[in-house]
Structure 1
């Protein structure tokens, strides 16, 4: 076997941080997709990964030398209710790799079989769930959003029982780490201050080395707050809905993690929900910023013993840090929307201009992605065109807003052509439209046809580029194609 240079820092933490457990072998593994560019970036040989030994590793049938397979422990608030022990119930961390740029990554098998944290689950994953995470996580990476990545997808040759019998599959996931807010909550719930300190020091060394110093734990909290504020601002700027923002699904590294019932909006509405389990809209599109702040408050609570010996002082320190979330988020959000609207300068009324557009889009049931795509094209024209206004149920409402926008553009120093080019670099043409994702999953699950999956990945790898002959992939769903619910897969 070709050696893999594992360097497993998390497995060197005390045993109460994880359970040592090997993947459960599968009957007939078949590799269905390898992310060759990502493999090369990680210093792995794509040809070897496609061969028998590589497939054995990617399916959990062989543990490579140097790997220390573990299931990590964590807790979490799920839809607001706290569970003191969750943990990796179907994911096993093989080990950590350092890529060609010196960056550390986790290599994890998702769907690798039961662990001590499975809570009577089978520890497996269905093919549809694996393909959804592969598609959406790679699309997010192409869009420039911090995210876990998909290295490989494999069939197991076995079935899993959900509502029906479905093909079993595994996803090989790459992440900066799998430490979550819920990881800190796990030890806080047990009053294990020593473990909290060890975990915080591990996260600082791995993700936030600039935080090292006398007030390193406060600096860590502030850094995670800033990272999450920036991440959620990026979600809102592309119309992404995570779908299940439990504290155990929020990465300390500021990456998008745990793609379950995730989706992208078509027609804009802040109350948009796709997740079949989010019955009350807790994690609706427009609720994501306050939920992120709520989750960060739970992190702050867990860190209180490290912030000060006096409880009241620790609470005051944490509250001051949390109070900066809203300003940080708003600054990140307005800057992203300025770029989406072609604004290189800052004016006090810019946020109101953005808000007015979103309100008009909501009332006009306009497609979120295409509005900004067409505005990009129109920004290079001296006169208005009908392409954007025709997206609105009442185009005259858009006309009022557009006149205001063009007046604002007159105060910009950039040329119309430069503005158009800049906008096209931040406003995607292609996103993982829900009906396209569902069609790719249905073809694979029902007909063992992976061609739609492969083509969709090809399109989404270049989200900002015009792709002749593939224009239909930018089209919103017809009425009969609309997806009203997405599912977690457990």
Structure 2
């Protein structure tokens, strides 16, 4: 039974300057590891045999109506501009309009080399594929805009990295794969017609109410401000907030050296390639503003007189810090039981975070315990916590729904780095039980009762650095 999908490929109807058409490179022995049936139903995919699913999601078989292509883009990577990047190990199969009316891309990651591979093999190994599957689906369950995982497939081929590893392909779903870098490549090349066409396409696809390039900029800034505040509220560190990893749709994309904070520290960095802390936890709000400034610079290039629009673009980007602060306060206010936090409440949040940092309190468990009236046990200096809690209790005394709000805002579980590493090691050895257990617990992060997976790592279990995995 073959796999069919209701493809309607608008991006493939754009001019050839936007992409390179090519089919995925077939693999030796595809084997389906996991298929997200609920997501497949939303996408309108047909029921199919496991063999047929494995063939499509590994790139062996291209379904009818698909139009595979590798997208072109540029990007600032750790602040340095690379004028041409593009999908070096991914192919956009096509787009579908789901049963919910939302248009989404279906993309294969690890599907083989493309003209943008830059000497890479275009493949992925099992570890990063399962990491992205787990973390992206966890983010979805947390209610944070994100790309999603539709399937993971073994290829039956070895991948050479530092050692020999099992090859795999991830099937990723996104409302689109348009990035800041997609605009940058045409702006850098001076291709104004293509830049204008891309702008019109992005507006029609994502923000149909937006009024021209500056309207698009305003909407993307709002979406990214909300997204970063959501990351901060669950202790998430993206790790590679390059402009080519910054979506126009406002979805989290590319789960390479990402991680969630255990012991809270505002300057936490996990990414092994972030030597300066550019993308540290506390720096993410500043970086997203910087990224939006790069988008603004690119969008301006389509005007006959770009200088005439600089003031408008500057005003939009300069409004972002206040937008982020407001979104951050709303998120963290909810974690304290405040439905309508005021600017004065920000100091209360900051006092708690400072106390957590002084004691190395676990981020997730502290807020979960606070929601359940048990936070005092998270601190060694209980007098200091009691002093903070006295003011906090006075503030929430009139909040009838405080506890319910807190429990809705503070997950009991996040995909902890050491558990992901344990899961990957087990999967490489052929044991997928840890993967299945993680997926089950993370599917309901506000209500899970898996005490072992909720527990913070011991000193010996901590994983201090994450790697891109490419």
Q: Report how many residues are paired.
A: 469
Distance (Å, rounded) in 1 between the aligned partners of 2:438 and 2:158: 25
Distance (Å, rounded) in 2 between the aligned partners of 1:59 and 1:27: 10
- SS of the residue corresponding to residue 133 of structure 2 reads helix
Matched, 1:228 2:224: yes
Q: Give yes or no for contact 2:59–2:111 (8 Å, CA) kept in 1.
A: yes
Q: Root-mean-square deviation (CA), in Å?
A: 1.1
Deviations 1:198-222 (A, max 9, x none): 10111111100111xxx42111000
Distance (Å, rounded) in 1 between the aligned partners of 2:341 and 2:145: 26
Q: 1:218 aligns with which of 186, 203, 214?
A: 214
Deviations 1:262-309 (A, max 9, x none): 100001111101111111111000010000000000000001134x43
**Counterpart in the other structure of 1:383:** none
- SS of the residue corresponding to residue 346 of structure 1 reads coil
**Counterpart in the other structure of 2:415:** 432
**Counterpart in the other structure of 2:461:** 481
- SS of the residue corresponding to residue 273 of structure 1 reads coil
Distance (Å, rounded) in 1 between the aligned partners of 2:164 and 2:375: 44
Q: Give yes or no for contact 1:151–1:172 (8 Å, CA) kept in 2.
A: yes
Q: Give yes or no for contact 1:366–1:393 (8 Å, CA) kept in 2.
A: no
Deviations 1:130-164 (A, max 9, x none): 00000000000000000000000000001111111
Distance (Å, rounded) in 1 between the aligned partners of 2:3 and 2:141: 30
**Counterpart in the other structure of 1:333:** 328
Q: Give yes or no for contact 2:6–2:45 (8 Å, CA) kept in 1.
A: no
For structure 1, the 5+ residue unaligned runs are 379-386
Distance (Å, rounded) in 2 between the aligned partners of 1:346 and 1:155: 48
**Counterpart in the other structure of 2:381:** 394
Distance (Å, rounded) in 1 between the aligned partners of 2:343 and 2:189: 48
Q: Give yes or no for contact 1:115–1:123 (8 Å, CA) kept in 2.
A: yes
Distance (Å, rounded) in 2 between the aligned partners of 1:52 and 1:191: 46
Q: Give yes or no for contact 2:105–2:176 (8 Å, CA) kept in 1.
A: yes
Question: Cα distance, 1:315 vs. partner?
Answer: 1.5
Matched, 1:464 2:414: no
**Counterpart in the other structure of 2:23:** 22
TM-score normalised over the length of structure 1:
0.94
Q: Give yes or no for contact 2:31–2:51 (8 Å, CA) kept in 1.
A: no
Instruction: Give the 5 Å matches for 1:262-301.
Output: 262-301=258-297
Matched, 1:455 2:437: yes
Q: Give yes or no for contact 2:3–2:56 (8 Å, CA) kept in 1.
A: no
Instruction: Give the 5 Å matches for 1:175-254.
Output: 175-211=174-210, 215-254=211-250
**Counterpart in the other structure of 1:407:** 394
Question: Cα distance, 1:421 vs. partner?
Answer: 1.9
Matched, 1:5 2:3: no
Instruction: Give the 5 Å matches for 1:311-322.
Output: 311-322=306-317
Deviations 1:379-403 (A, max 9, x none): xxxxxxxx42232242222222111
Distance (Å, rounded) in 2 between the aligned partners of 1:370 and 1:187: 46
Q: Give yes or no for contact 1:305–1:314 (8 Å, CA) kept in 2.
A: no
Distance (Å, rounded) in 1 between the aligned partners of 2:342 and 2:224: 25
Distance (Å, rounded) in 2 between the aligned partners of 1:413 and 1:365: 29
Q: Give yes or no for contact 1:111–1:123 (8 Å, CA) kept in 2.
A: yes
Distance (Å, rounded) in 1 between the aligned partners of 2:341 and 2:216: 30
Question: Cα distance, 1:413 vs. partner?
Answer: 4.0
Q: Give yes or no for contact 1:365–1:393 (8 Å, CA) kept in 2.
A: no
Q: Could you say if the C-alpha distance between residues 207 and 312 of structure 1 is closer, same or farther in structure 2, counting changes exceeding 3 Å?
A: same
Q: Give yes or no for contact 2:330–2:340 (8 Å, CA) kept in 1.
A: no
Question: Cα distance, 1:55 vs. partner?
Answer: 1.5
- SS of the residue corresponding to residue 106 of structure 2 reads strand
Distance (Å, rounded) in 2 between the aligned partners of 1:87 and 1:309: 28
Distance (Å, rounded) in 2 between the aligned partners of 1:346 and 1:136: 30
Deviating more after overlay: 400-409 vs 284-293: 400-409
Distance (Å, rounded) in 1 between the aligned partners of 2:324 and 2:434: 37
